[in-house]
Chains A and B, each alone.
Chain A
Amino acid sequence: MTLSIDALKEKFRNPGPVELELIARYAMLPESGQRERAFSAFAETGLPHRRMEAWRWTDFKAAIRSIEAPETPGQSVPLPSGDCPVIAFSGTKTELPTALPPGIQLHSRTDAQALGNAEEVPLGALTAALAGRVGGLDTLIIEVTEKTETPLHIITRSDRDETNFARVAVIVRPGASLDLVESHLGGAGFSSFLIEIGMQDGGHVRRTVLQKASADEAQAVTAIVSLGDKSEYTQTALSFGAHVARLETRLTHQESGSHATLNGAYLCADGFHSDFTSHVRHGAPSSVTRQVTKGAVLDGGTGVFQGKFHVPRTVGQHTDADMQHQALLLEDGAQVFAKPELEIYADDVECAHGNTSGALDPNQLFYMRQRGIPETQAKALLTEAFIAEALESANEGVHDALLEAARTFLAESA
């Protein structure tokens, strides 16, 4: 059965040309209840735009004028995977590893469970609706049943495709652990990756993310994370942005005593936009969140940080949460928008946040130049040192590669 395009159009308030194209693509996919729910959730908002509070600085609707392949293929250098298993998504195919370490199983579903909070993450909902391909898989499920040490790499990279939508669900069984390394390298006009991570009691997940795409692409990386009793989640992301890019994380402390670290850094050159948005719900007592986001932006670049800690009455008691965002405006014409929010209803909590932005210190620059370090190199070194703190929590196997990516960027923009 083919769904009626006219019926789909009615779900949208005022679909633009890109939304009509997305409707046409959806209509070509096999029918699935899950996908239908996700697409209906997307239809509520359509492509997110500036008149929506959570998207006021990151307007996908305005940024995506048409769905076209970009001028260049995806970035060529993913984070080094060595002999580790790699899952790769392009706009046209999915490559799965031939062997997996004990404790990790892959399953695919054509009708995965409905997406929690879908209505709050429009691009996540869109991705859930469109990730399936005719004859392909809808959702890749990674089930982790043991403590594992070999990192699992996920690469999204297209060779000049129009779109690349991919969806992964991770289930971490009690006491199991997973090291996840993701490289989101663009190469499609509109790429969107959705990952849902459900951690059961005592589960551990460390997730290290690199996002890099060209200045004529739109890219979204959305994570929905749920933490079980005494589980631990550590996320570290480095983003270079795209024409428009958003790394969004919605995390819930579902059971008590869980610990989350959400670190990130953005480096934006002229014509690049990077948005770090996070929403952390302390839905269980005695849980901890630590968040450090650092950014550096050049003339014509835009950085966005939106962070929210939501601590409900009663269940949020004894929350311990800290949110820091620091930005460097490296040149005149750089833009950074920041909105840190603490929404606290419980009365026995420790919550703090800090938010600063400024230029490099001229005293430091002069001191370095007096020692013979040219001004551009001094700026690069100070900027690298500035953002490095936010990358310390990365997987040690790729930590140096992240710093090297930052260093290359800073050397090139000098």
Chain B
Amino acid sequence: MRRMLLLDDLSATVGEEDEAKTIINGLSLEVPAGEVHAIMGPNGAGKSTLSYVLTGRDGYEVTGGSATLDGVDILDMDPEARASKGLFLSFQYPVEIPGVPVMTFVRTAMNAQRKLRGEEEISAPDFIKKSREIGKQLNLSTEMLKRPLNVGFSGGEKKRLEIFQMMMLEPSFAILDETDSGLDIDALRTVADGVNALRNPKRGMLVITHYQRLLDHIKPDKVHVLANGKIIKTGGPELALRLEAEGYDGVLGEAA
């Protein structure tokens, strides 16, 4: 089994030098190709920080350990280089991009990634065909895809647009940060169907969530519990059910 994402004793701080706070503290994790892993944890455990550290956001500094994707160190790469390497983050709070229609945005992103990888640009007809098919699966109308990205969209629509981008860009590794928040039951199912459609033996995924609910629809191969910046417990899907039943205190008390 190929190890796709490998984090070894990773530590990271947030904030300026004097006020830097350690949020990720000796975190080790591996997600093999073809698997979906879930990360659960209480508020403040470092879940979103982990997603930002891995995607290279400014303001997060790695102070120790390593992170590799397909054997390549990603920590020194620019965010756009990581993206073209196949790393995708579905944002917890998708950002509004005024004046840039969804289609223009995704096509720009797709071609920018292809350029960085030394590939040909996608042709306009191919792009339109693909976007129509995926839009249909996610209940996103052509009219919606012509509007500026995330501007004036509801919380659920924004999350569906994240999945739309993921399905268009076909990353090799996807991190879904609280994709279930803000979704009603129907939208949750649509989103989960989209994610499940992308599951394949070559692709890895890390699903960050507070609740078991999403994991009813996206069955994880493994569940990790993140607390105080490190993984303190790993198990199968049954661990998520136990967390739901006993709460983090119950499980964390046992692990401590």
**Is residue B122 contacting chain A, with contact meaning CB distance below 8 A?**
no
Contact bitstring B143-167, A, C-beta under 8 A = 1, else 0: 0000010000000000000000100
Q: Per-position contact with B for A346-380: 1 when CB-CB < 8 Å, else 0?
A: 00000000000000011110111111111101000
Contacts of B89 in A (CB 8 A): 370
- Among the 9-residue stretches A47-55, A154-162, A167-175, A381-389, the one with 4 or more Cβ atoms under 8 Å from chain B is A381-389
Do B97 and A372 touch (CB < 8 A)?
no
A372 contacts B95, CB within 8 Å? no
How many A-B residue pairs have C-beta atoms within 8 angstroms? Tell me. Answer: 74
A363–B98 CA distance with the chains assembled, in angstroms: 13
- State whether B116 touches A362 (Cβ < 8 A): no
Contacts A363-B95, A367-B95, A385-B99 given: A373-B109 contact, CB under 8 Å? Answer: yes
CB distance A370 to B99 under 8 Å? Answer: no
A396 to B98, CA, bound (A): 22
Once the chains bind, are B95 and A364 in contact (CB under 8 Å)? Answer: yes
Interface string of B41-71 (1 = CB under 8 A from A): 0000000000000011110000000000000
Q: Which of A362, A366, A382, A389 has the most CB of B within 10 A?
A: A366
Give CA–CA (A337, B80) in the complex, Å: 34
Taking the closest CB of chain A, its distance from the CB of B127, in whole angstroms, is 15
Contact: B97 with A370, CB < 8 Å? no
* Contact present for A373 and B80 (CB under 8 Å): yes
In the assembled complex, B29 has its CB within 8 A of some CB on chain A: no
Closest CB-CB distance, B158 to chain A, in whole Å? Answer: 12
Report B-chain residues with C-beta under 8 Å of the C-beta of A367: 91, 94-95, 97
Please tell me which one of the listed residues A364, A372, A389 contacts residue B109 in the complex, with CB atoms under 8 A apart: A372
Residues of chain A with a CB closer than 8 A to B98's CB: 385-386
Q: How far is the CA of A382 from the CA of B58 in the complex (A)?
A: 19
Chain A positions within 8 Å of B96 at CB level: 364
- CB within 8 Å for A371 and B78 given contacts A385-B99, A386-B99: no
B237 within 8 A of A: no
Please tell me if the beta carbons of A375 and B99 are within 8 angstroms of each other in the complex. Answer: no
Q: Residue among A361, A370, A385 with the most chain B CB within 10 A?
A: A370
- Tell which of B80, B99, B165 touches A374, judged by Cβ atoms closer than 8 Å: B80
The answer on a CB contact under 8 Å between A372 and B84 is yes
Q: How far is the CB of A358 from chain B (nearest CB, A)?
A: 14
Q: Is B83 an interface residue (CB 8 A)?
A: yes
Residues in chain B near residue A373, CB distance under 8 A: 80, 108-109, 112
- On whether the beta carbons of A370 and B108 are closer than 8 Å, the reply is no
- Asked whether, in the complex, the Cβ of A371 is within 8 Å of the Cβ of B83, the reply is yes
Across the two chains, which residue of chain B brings its CB closest to A389? B99
Contact partners of A362 in chain B: CB under 8 A = 58
Question: Among the interface residues B79, B89, B99, B105, which one has the most CB atoms of the partner chain A within 10 A?
Answer: B79
**Are A371 and B100 in contact, with the CB atoms below 8 A?**
no
- Interface positions of A (Cβ within 8 A of B): 361-364, 366-375, 377, 381-382, 384-386, 388-389
A sample of 10 cross-chain residue pairs with beta-carbon separation below 8 angstroms, ordered by A number, consists of: A366-B79, A368-B105, A369-B56, A369-B79, A371-B169, A372-B112, A372-B116, A374-B116, A375-B78, A389-B99
